């Protein structure tokens, strides 16, 4: 950066601006109108012509933004300011535009100063009168221009743009400047998060915060990140889930709780996975997974209607890049995991031996040595993952999972299903990817302890993703937890579906990237 000619030229201009007594980075307290609000306010309304703006008979406004276009035209010049993802045109005049801080006796007029010292990327504020050009474009006739921040590096070329996808993710600030649609996606993300919170609050939930650093991680089968607390001389983990602490709050007497925050899993990176991601988890006393299914379906339908006025989201891409039409209108399909395998693969796993299922899985990329170790419940789950998930395009609730898939879920209330090792769990799928996970939560402390000890044995035997034993959680359950319905939703995937983006990196401001290594000359 320091060796580029453009950088050195702008540094020279910066020094000359200061020599003229103008501060290029002034402290500011101003309330410029948003360019978007200005465009909405005057859409379709007559304002006046440039002559009326020049003599001050049209409305006076103050706007601000980044300079993204400049055109000199004799005694006038036009520049375009970018304010978030909306632009506003400004007309500068040799006789009527003044630069704040410039000595009126200086040989440079305000216009000439701007022509000489303002570069694309600089932030300016402009006070002036509104008018429309001959072609009807809303424009500010600049009376006073103030430097707000000098840009020392050039913007991406407006023609070739910033097209390198890795650079766009790595330097998101340039991506936002260059691609208004990217900023629009992130603005929509913020709105989605606000709507989710509103929906939960309207249904009687309270938002809580729980620790990110935990001495024992839990709530999911995943590998954690480890760090160290110097003050306590102890290693701790970045949480992989929000579940355990939220359940403790249910034990403590809270009726309905939710938390929306970051969780961290030391796993692979692809179109639907980032090691750091946002989740919402919620727990409601005296509910089961049927109640949670209804709540989840209602939430997604509410979000679609709030954003678009319809449940019809139009075309969306699945994990493999295939295009589908997606409508969230209820009621959504519900299959047990075993039923879904029959429907989409044609297998009845209840009629298959463990060896037959291992033979089916031998055609997949799974490690044969690992497949040999899998118990029956996980063999069923792997067949579902490998052969069924990709077919779940429209919303599907996949219910009643094998107990081996989770140590935290209540056994099925149906005696036959319970004896077969089935738990009251559902996963929501759409576009071939998991969107939500929910349980009728296990609140039997004796059974929970036995299941966690089995998980600890698996962990001691080398299963890095097995759930560790958590004595404190067992103690909390022994205090008594009411019947509870729990839900977890991946917020980033939710945003992907609702905005139509095809990669998690397109809905996370700063996705995980390898460090950029600059070769030394």
**3-state secondary structure labels for all residues of 168-215:** HHHCHHHHHHHCHHHHHHHHHHHHHHHHHHHHHHHCCCEECCCCCEEC
> Using alpha carbons only, what angle is made at residue 80 by residues 76 and 86, rounded to the nearest 5 degrees?
150
Give CA–CA dist 363/277, Å, rounded.
32
Residue-wise over 23-36: b if at least 16 C-beta within 10 A, else e? ebeeeeeeebebbe
Model pLDDT for residues 222-261, shown as the tens digit of each residue: 899 999 999 999 999 999 999 999 999 999 999 999 999 9
Model pLDDT for residues 319-344, shown as the tens digit of each residue: 888 999 999 999 999 999 999 999 99
Tokens (6 digits) for 449:
């302890």
| Predicted local distance difference test score (pLDDT) of residue 444 | 96
Residue 159: pLDDT band with limits 50, 70, 90: low
Residue 3: pLDDT band with limits 50, 70, 90: confident
Show me where the domains of the chain are located: 5-155, 177-332+394-506
- Choose the weakest-confidence range: 306-320, 394-408, 461-475: 461-475
Coil vs helix vs strand at 189: helix
| Predicted local distance difference test score (pLDDT) of residue 157 | 76
Crossing angle of the two packed helices 354-361 and 376-387, in degrees rounded to 10: 30
Coil vs helix vs strand at 174: helix
- Average pLDDT rounded to a whole number, residues 442-454: 94
Residues pairing with 273 in the sheet: 270
Model pLDDT for residues 450-499, shown as the tens digit of each residue: 999 988 998 888 888 888 899 999 999 999 999 999 999 999 999 999 99
Please measure the distance between the N-terminal and C-terminal CA atoms of the chain and give it in whole angstroms: 13
* Residue-wise DSSP of 462-501: T-TTSPPP-HHHHHHHHH----EEEEEEEHHHHHHHHHT-
- Average pLDDT rounded to a whole number, residues 71-83: 94
Q: What is the pTM of this model?
A: 0.92
For the domain made up of 177-332+394-506, give the CATH fold. BirA Bifunctional Protein; domain 2 (3.30.930)
**5-155 in CATH: which number?**
2.40.50.140
- Average pLDDT rounded to a whole number, residues 143-166: 86
> Using alpha carbons only, what angle is made at residue 103 by residues 101 and 108, rounded to the nearest 5 degrees?
105
| Range list of H helices, 20-164 | 35-41, 50-54, 110-117
Give CA–CA dist 454/520, Å, rounded.
53
Tokens (6 digits) for 394:
């429209």
């Amino acid at each position: 950066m320091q060796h580029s000619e453009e950088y050195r030229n702008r540094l020279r201009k910066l020094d000359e601006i200061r020599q003229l007594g103008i501060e290029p980075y002034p402290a500011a307290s101003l309330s410029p109108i948003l360019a978007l609000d200005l465009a909405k306010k005057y859409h379709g309304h007559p304002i006046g012509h440039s002559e009326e703006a020049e003599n001050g008979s049209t409305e006076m406004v103050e706007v601000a933004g980044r300079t993204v276009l400049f055109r000199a035209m004799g005694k006038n010049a036009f520049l375009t300011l970018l304010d978030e993802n909306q632009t506003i045109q400004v007309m500068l005049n040799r006789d009527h535009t003044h630069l704040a801080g410039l000595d009126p006796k200086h040989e440079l007029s305000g216009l000439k100063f701007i022509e000489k010292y303002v570069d694309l990327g600089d932030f300016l504020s402009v006070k002036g009168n509104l008018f429309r050009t001959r072609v009807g474009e809303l424009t500010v006739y600049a009376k006073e221009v103030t430097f707000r921040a000098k840009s020392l590096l050039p913007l991406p070329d407006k023609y070739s743009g910033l097209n390198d996808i890795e650079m766009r993710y790595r330097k998101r600030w340039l991506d936002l400047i260059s691609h208004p649609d990217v900023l629009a996606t992130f603005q929509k993300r913020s709105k989605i998060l606000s709507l989710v919170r509103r929906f939960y609050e309207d249904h009687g939930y309270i938002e809580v915060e729980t620790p990110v650093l935990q001495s024992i991680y839990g709530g999911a089968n995943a590998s954690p990140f480890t760090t160290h607390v110097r003050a306590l001389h102890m290693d701790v983990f970045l949480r992989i889930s929000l579940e355990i602490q939220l359940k403790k709050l249910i034990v403590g007497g809270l009726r309905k709780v939710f938390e929306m925050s970051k969780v961290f899993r030391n796993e692979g990176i692809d179109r639907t996975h980032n090691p750091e991601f946002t989740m919402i988890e919620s727990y409601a006393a005296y509910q089961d997974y049927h109640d949670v299914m209804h709540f989840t379906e209602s939430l997604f339908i509410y979000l679609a209607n709030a954003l678009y006025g319809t449940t019809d989201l139009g075309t969306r891409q699945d994990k493999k890049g295939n295009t589908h039409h997606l409508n969230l209108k209820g009621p959504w399909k519900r299959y047990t995991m075993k039923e879904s395998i029959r429907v989409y693969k044609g297998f009845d796993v209840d009629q298959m031996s463990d060896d037959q299922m291992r033979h089916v899985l031998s055609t997949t990329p799974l490690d044969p040595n690992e497949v040999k170790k899998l118990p029956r419940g996980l063999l069923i789950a792997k067949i579902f993952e490998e052969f069924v998930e990709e077919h779940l395009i429209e919303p599907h609730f996949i219910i009643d999972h094998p107990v081996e898939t989770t140590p935290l879920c209540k056994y099925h209330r149906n005696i036959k299903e319970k004896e077969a090792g089935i738990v009251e769990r559902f996963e929501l799928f759409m576009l071939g990817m998991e969107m939500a996970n929910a349980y009728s939560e296990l609140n039997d402390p004796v059974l929970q302890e036995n299941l966690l000890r089995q998980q600890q044995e698996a962990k001691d035997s080398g299963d890095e993703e097995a759930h560790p034993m958590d004595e404190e959680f067992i103690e909390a359950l022994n205090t008594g937890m009411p019947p509870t319905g729990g839900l977890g939703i991946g917020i980033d995937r939710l945003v992907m579906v609702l905005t139509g983006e095809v990669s998690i990196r397109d809905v996370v401001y700063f996705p995980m990237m390898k460090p950029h290594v600059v070769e030394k000359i």
